[in-house]
Structure 1
């Protein structure tokens, strides 16, 4: 009898708790939601290209929208005004990160910058990274590396131009950004290093991003370990661990190489800078770094720094080749400004060709490398566009949808760099209609380095070469289908024939 009474009391208390919670939520003005299925919520409405699926749902349900991914509520922002409220007005209250299974693993239990939740440790690491690794002075000190690697790119393409062979420009540009990042961050020559298998690096980046973006039941069904069991049986845990072990082996090899006595080096790379802090830090230092912190930082650089720059250049070249008038216009502008006698391009030349900067802006608008910036998590109750967003709520900002919003952009699906003429809109986080690097406290700290690579790489491609399509193709045949989840690549590699003109 006593047990029955206790069970009755327990059931009553639990029911009362949910009833009170429901009443409290009833008073909130929650964002509109599409109908949900039991258990899975709205997961069935998210296709192979999540940013596109969310864009279509936003057209129907609104630019501030509440979805349920399994048991996890997620607020999706698809407007400039909503993005400004999240990323500027309420930046401090929603600049944390959700603790996800994949990000925890690859960040070495949140010892990085990109995936770590907001707090004092994160702030210390962020300040260190901006001051020591990504400041303007540091970026400029690596200028000669970018110029050397771009010169090597021109040499390779010139050899292909001699016999008129077709070049896989997608792979070529990936190798360009990888070669720059490996020298800057790891102190390794991408083309000659015995530690690096360059033919497998692209595959490893793809594997890591796919594993991070793949459906992980533990993140959406955190109930009594059921999600973990499903991930174990589906192989998701194995995929994440395989990627972790491959990255860990690569980073450990490079760190061990840096620790060898008498190692020769021609510059201080990012690992050198962090090892110096580890070797000189005292007990009272506020910033504590370990080898795991180095690996966490390198994982961020590896995932965010290599393919994003390549993706931007690939989409820019794709759109230009699809629009012969624009291709000729930007090449004429470049060649008129730089003359006909340059053997090499330097970063000083970039500022002489403003039209190229318009091309890059338009590429960021139409083809942001990461159209869904990394998810945020609220730390307090906020209101966005009049809707309530409670604490511990995940927020996704769909910058891909904002960049194609017809309320903001005339003919938004058209690639038109001239829309930015006499237009102050920039991509550095202050204009919320163009956010390829995010904004606020979580803006990408590697933005200056990424921009420098994209500008110099495209300038070399457009100054030294004309570009022809393979035999039998016209510009109308170029495929512009997208692929990917975390970053969005051109599904079919861009293959062109370089013609050396300088």
Structure 2
């Protein structure tokens, strides 16, 4: 009994010594105290961004968070995010991929999860010069304005409906609809939702794929950050294979629609799918590899066009 106990104690002491050495050697930003092995995994709330916001208030805009034995540095303001994602992207582009994100991104073939290298440089160049250039975003501005106008009209219509008199109005649905319509029109060049709020079959499939993917990746197990535990938590390979197949079918159908439309019209439109299809030869692109889930929804800001006193009057009347 003495030998196994001494071996266990020695291993524990070595692990603790290694952790202390690493933390003392590098001057890390402040953060919540991690536990051995699991780090801060048990401290993170289900709504992760709120948890990070609370830690930023307690420890400052740069926070050290340990996912298992892996250090994650969280930045919590726009200026720091700009330095990380734009000015120092060469040093900080490589991001840890869980098994699910590796699967969904085809092992880092998209822009969000790509490792720094020739592929990343190419995708970043396409995004900067072609997809998100000031000229293209300005050309797509009428779409954003149109969707925000439609949202405001929908809210006004429901507020003035006699059936809703005295009832509270949830704005969440309207914001979700305007985000969905903005994204689909900017990316695919079409609206999947009609004026009555009914989504067509293709739009329902798109939403289902995104929801299923988000559900599978929303609650990563501890094994994603502690590799030697992964054998206890295998991936749902059959479910993931079906989801991959559904995504590929939807992408192919949308690409075929755009290819046929471009052949008939003889030109391309400003939205992203047409832009990528026309840039395939120029940048040697594999277009399906650029299609990924939106990690951050688009934000629309309404610009008032009426005098302030009319806004106040309309708000009180509603």
Q: Within 1, Cα distance between the matches of 2:239 and 2:272?
A: 28
Distance 1:156 1:38 in 2: 53
Determine if contact 1:43/1:69 at 8 Å carries over to the other structure: yes
Trace 1:276-355 onto structure 2 (pairs within 5 A).
276-278=278-280, 280-281=281-282, 287-293=283-289, 296=290, 298-300=291-293, 302-304=294-296, 307-309=297-299, 334-336=305-307
Please report the TM-score for the alignment, with normalisation by the length of structure 2.
0.71
The question of whether the paired residues in 2 share the 8 Å contact of 1:195 and 1:253 is answered with no
* Contact map agreement 2:140 2:270 (CA 8 A) in 1: no
Aligned residue for 1:220?
A: 225
Q: Deviations over 1:210-236 (max 9, x none)?
A: 43342144530222xx4154143xx5x
Q: Which has the higher helix share?
A: 2
Deviation at 1:100? Answer: 2.8
TM-superposed CA distance for 1:175, in Å, is: 1.8
Q: Using the alignment, how far apart are the partners of 1:214 and 1:156 within structure 2?
A: 35
Q: TM-score, normalised by structure 1?
A: 0.48
Between the aligned partners of 1:152 and 1:78, the Cα distance in structure 2 is 33
Q: Which has the higher contact order (CA 8 A, sep 6+)?
A: 1
Give the 5 Å matches for 1:484-499. 499=318
**Superposition pairs of residues 181-220 of structure 1, within 5 angstroms:** 181-191=183-193, 194-198=200-204, 204-220=209-225
Residue aligning to 1:94: 92
Task: Name the CA shift for 1:37/1:129 in 2 (closer, same or farther; >3 Å).
Answer: closer
Shift of 1:69: 1.6
Distance, in Å, in 1 between the alignment partners of 2:162 and 2:268 is 36
- Hey, which of these two has a bigger chunk of strand by percent? 1
Distance in 2 (alpha carbons) for counterparts of 1:128 and 1:205: 24
- The verdict on how the C-alpha distance between 1:335 and 1:114 changes in structure 2, with shifts beyond 3 A counting, is same
Structure 1, gaps ≥5 residues long: 1-14, 282-286, 317-329, 341-461, 469-497
Spell out the pairing of 1:78-477 with structure 2 (5 A cutoff).
92-166=90-164, 168-191=170-193, 194-198=200-204, 204-223=209-228, 226-227=229-230, 229-232=232-235, 243-260=243-260, 262-263=263-264, 267-278=269-280, 280-281=281-282, 287-293=283-289, 296=290, 298-300=291-293, 302-304=294-296, 307-309=297-299, 334-336=305-307, 466-467=314-315
Where structure 2 has 5 or more consecutive residues not aligned to the other structure, the ranges are 1-12
Contact 1:209 1:303 in 2 (8 A): no
Say if 1:107 and 1:115, in contact at 8 Å, map to a contact too. Answer: yes
Contact 1:149 1:176 in 2 (8 A): yes
Aligned-residue CA RMSD (Å)? 4.3
Residue 59 of structure 1 and its aligned partner are, at CA, apart by 5.8
Shift in Å at residue 288 of structure 1?
A: 2.3
